[in-house]
């Protein structure tokens, strides 16, 4: 059940049977020569909606913007500061908690969100533990590509999945947004990979076209369909396990 296309009465009815909700979260940032700016939030969104269809879970509107400061050297990228993103997460969770939602399952499409969103969860728990107010909630975050997806990635893109603008996420976005498939030469074919990067200027200097360690010229919407079906199964398992935890 997607909140965005439900009425408040439908949400009230839902809350009589479940206190769980799926929250897709991603980023608005460059994804190399053939990856869409919205890749991370589009991937999180399509998988979250699939989990909603499979389980009947409520699915919140996508939190499209994330912590992407290191991508600002590339046009179209937008970041929330970590402090801003933590407040967004807190206010979204606490707003929904007012109505009775208690279990928040974030499906994430962007590795750069992990530290900040995890810290936002800890702020919520700290407020509860210290008696600073707020409704007690429980939150979990999982990256959309679980074990089934990793097996497919290893089969399709052995050694060249990479860490940013990955072949898998580009394929999944191509499946979801099949009218917006881009074609580009990759040079070098497999992007470089370093252990660490710092700010946007440093990132741009290390990764000329924005990719890290990937070859998304291998991506296709057919691959994306396989990854989508696997991801929905992976995340359905994870959501159900969270509700029963």
β-bridge mates for residue 143, sequence order: 108
Beta strands in the chain, from DSSP E residues, in sequence order = 20-25, 58-59, 103-108, 138-143
| Integer Cα distance of 116 and 16 in angstroms | 32
Q: Closer to Zn ion by CB, 169 or 215: give it.
A: 169
Tally of CB atoms within 10 A around 55: 19
Q: Closer to Zn ion by CB, 104 or 143: give it.
A: 143
| Integer Cα distance of 124 and 113 in angstroms | 17
Q: Closer to Zn ion by CB, 45 or 169: give it.
A: 169
| Integer Cα distance of 31 and 146 in angstroms | 21
Q: Which residue is nearest to Zn ion, using beta carbons? A: 40
**Spatial CA neighbour of 148 closest among 214, 58, 232, 206:** 232
CB of 209 to Zn ion, least distance (A): 14
Q: Closer to Zn ion by CB, 39 or 236: give it.
A: 39
CB of 31 to Zn ion, least distance (A): 6
CB of 40 to Zn ion, least distance (A): 4
**Spatial CA neighbour of 162 closest among 185, 198, 202, 194:** 194
Q: Closer to Zn ion by CB, 19 or 165: give it.
A: 165
Chain residues in the site for Zn ion (CB under 5 A): 39-40, 169
CB of 63 to Zn ion, least distance (A): 14
How far CA 90 is from CA of 3, 30, 45, 203, in Å, comes to: 18, 26, 20, 29
**Spatial CA neighbour of 165 closest among 33, 28, 26:** 33
CB of 88 to Zn ion, least distance (A): 19
Q: Closer to Zn ion by CB, 102 or 150: give it.
A: 150
Token reading at 243: 């509700």
């Amino acid at each position: 059940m997607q909140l965005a296309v439900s009425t408040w009465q439908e949400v009230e009815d839902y809350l009589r049977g479940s206190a769980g909700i799926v929250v897709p979260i991603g980023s608005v940032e460059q994804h190399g020569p053939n990856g869409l700016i919205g890749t991370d939030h589009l991937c999180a969104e399509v998988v979250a909606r699939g989990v909603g269809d499979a389980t009947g879970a409520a699915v919140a509107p996508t939190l499209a913007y994330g912590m992407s400061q290191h991508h600002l050297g590339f046009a179209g990228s937008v970041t929330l500061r970590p402090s801003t993103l933590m407040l967004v997460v807190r206010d979204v969770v606490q707003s929904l908690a007012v109505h009775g939602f208690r279990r928040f399952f974030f499906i994430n499409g962007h590795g750069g969100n992990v530290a900040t969103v995890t810290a936002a969860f800890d702020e919520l728990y700290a407020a509860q533990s210290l008696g600073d107010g707020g409704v007690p909630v429980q939150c979990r975050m999982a990256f959309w590509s679980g074990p089934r997806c990793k097996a497919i990635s290893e089969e399709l893109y052995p050694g060249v999945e990479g860490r940013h603008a990955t072949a898998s996420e580009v394929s999944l976005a191509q499946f979801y947004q099949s009218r917006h498939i881009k074609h580009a030469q990759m040079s070098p074919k497999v992007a470089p990979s370093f252990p660490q990067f710092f700010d946007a200027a440093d990132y741009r200097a290390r990764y000329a076209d924005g990719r890290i360690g990937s070859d998304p010229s291998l991506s296709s919407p057919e691959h994306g369909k396989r990854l989508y079906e696997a991801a929905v199964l992976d995340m359905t398992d994870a959501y159900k396990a969270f509700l029963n935890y």
